[in-house]
Amino acid sequence: MTEKRPPERMRTMTYGNVVSLPSEDALRDKIKLQQARESAEPNPEFDQFIAEVDWSTLDLILAEIARKSGVKPEEMNTLGPERVLCKTAFYRGDEGMQVVGDYVFDDNIINLNYRYVEQVAQELGVDPKFLALQILINGKVNAAKRNALTIFNSQSAAVQEELPENQQKAVRALESGYRTSVLEISGTMEKPQQNKTDLNVLLNDAVIRKLGLEIFREYLLRTGKMDKDQMNRYLESYFSNRHFTDSGELVHFMEDLLGVVSEKIDMDKEVVWRAFVRGLFEPHAKVLDNPTIKQWFAQAFSPDFLNKISKVGSASELSRLLIEKYEK
């Protein structure tokens, strides 16, 4: 007879800044980073791009925005150039769609598919370094909120006792900012069955995209890389490209959402936006369960609006729901 493993109790873990990890975790992180760096692809153009980024100015802008939003910069997970790697074959999703870059949570690194960045930049008719910078900034924003991520692992002892031999039933939930990912595991140990549910993915992404755009604009103006007219022309090309139309729709949705909430609750739009930014860097329970946030949405739309947008799967559907609720 196979001996059952003792059930695992509910536990909560909050990931801290990489510089303050416990020694064992720090060593594991160092090994993973080294392995990731060894698998990175050599690319002189990528190396030049990384060398030309003004990292201190970039981090200063992020810290200034954090303070304005009531977030302590020292509590954010801020990635430097050593954690931005070049990957020439980077794919995502069931369709195996090639992407220009992304933040990888497990390794705490940003991958840039620089060869593909150059290809897309050619389609846009822009300098690939500007496109790479925008992707890098979105990655840094995604990474910065890593400290607010909470993982819940549960395995009910009562349920486990009632299961047949070698069966399992557990739930793993990841909460960060506005997003929740729930993974339900069942079946046998040898053939587990998994069911994953993601909530508020697009609301979370909308805040990230708008914040990334704010940092991108400020960085280019502060460093003198572009003036406002050049930036507007670049962004027009960027948002009209097939790779980034969803990003444009998410930014527009966020702008419209801020406008509606601001008008309905009679509060300055900037104050409302800073509250949304703060929510991105706070533990999930403080955000969508916050009575103030709930009251804002209930007052601006309806009590069930938050629940409705949590399950939406496209940016265009988000905008449709917003218009529908606003017109009512």
Q: What are 154-185's pLDDT values in tens digits?
A: 554 444 445 555 665 666 666 667 777 777 77
Candidate from 92-101, 125-134, 194-203 with smallest mean pLDDT = 92-101
**Burial class of 317 by CB neighbour count within 10 A (0 to 12, 13 to 18, 19+):** middle
**Non-local CB neighbours of 154 within 8 Å, separated by 6+ positions:** 8, 10, 170, 171, 172
Instruction: Report the distance separating Cα 19 and Cα 77, nearest Å.
Output: 9
> 305: helix, coil or strand?
helix
Structure confidence by residue, pLDDT tens digits, 246-296? 889 999 989 988 998 888 888 899 998 998 898 888 765 555 666 777 777
Above 80 in pLDDT, residue 321? no
State the average pLDDT over residues 4-8.
Answer: 37
Instruction: Report the distance separating Cα 168 and Cα 158, nearest Å.
Output: 12
> 196: helix, coil or strand?
strand
Structure confidence by residue, pLDDT tens digits, 234-257? 999 898 888 888 889 999 989 988
> What element of type H or E holds 186?
strand 179-187
Above 70 in pLDDT, residue 31? yes
Output the CA angle 174-71-272, nearest 5 degrees.
90
Instruction: Report the distance separating Cα 139 and Cα 104, nearest Å.
Output: 9
Instruction: Report the distance separating Cα 52 and Cα 218, nearest Å.
Output: 17
Candidate from 2-6, 25-29, 123-127, 271-275 with smallest mean pLDDT = 2-6
Above 90 in pLDDT, residue 96? no
Q: How many residues in the chain?
A: 328
Max CA pair span of the chain: 74
Instruction: Report the distance separating Cα 328 and Cα 320, nearest Å.
Output: 13
> 31: helix, coil or strand?
helix
CB 25 within 8 A of CB 93: no
Candidate from 113-117, 202-206, 295-299 with smallest mean pLDDT = 295-299
Candidate from 62-66, 128-132, 159-163 with smallest mean pLDDT = 159-163
Alpha helix segments (H runs only) across the chain = 23-38, 44-52, 55-68, 114-124, 128-144, 157-162, 201-223, 228-240, 245-265, 269-280, 284-287, 291-300, 305-309, 315-327
- Residue 83: closest CA among 36, 17, 129: 36
Residue 8's pLDDT band, with cuts at 50, 70 and 90, is: very low
Percentage above 70 pLDDT, the chain: 72
CB 55 within 8 A of CB 85: no
User: Which has the higher per-residue pLDDT, 70 or 94?
Assistant: 70
Q: DSSP class of residue 136?
A: H
CB 2 within 8 A of CB 165: yes
Above 70 in pLDDT, residue 198? no
Q: Flag whether the pTM goes above 0.85.
A: no
- Residue 133: closest CA among 61, 213, 206: 213
Residue 192's pLDDT band, with cuts at 50, 70 and 90, is: low
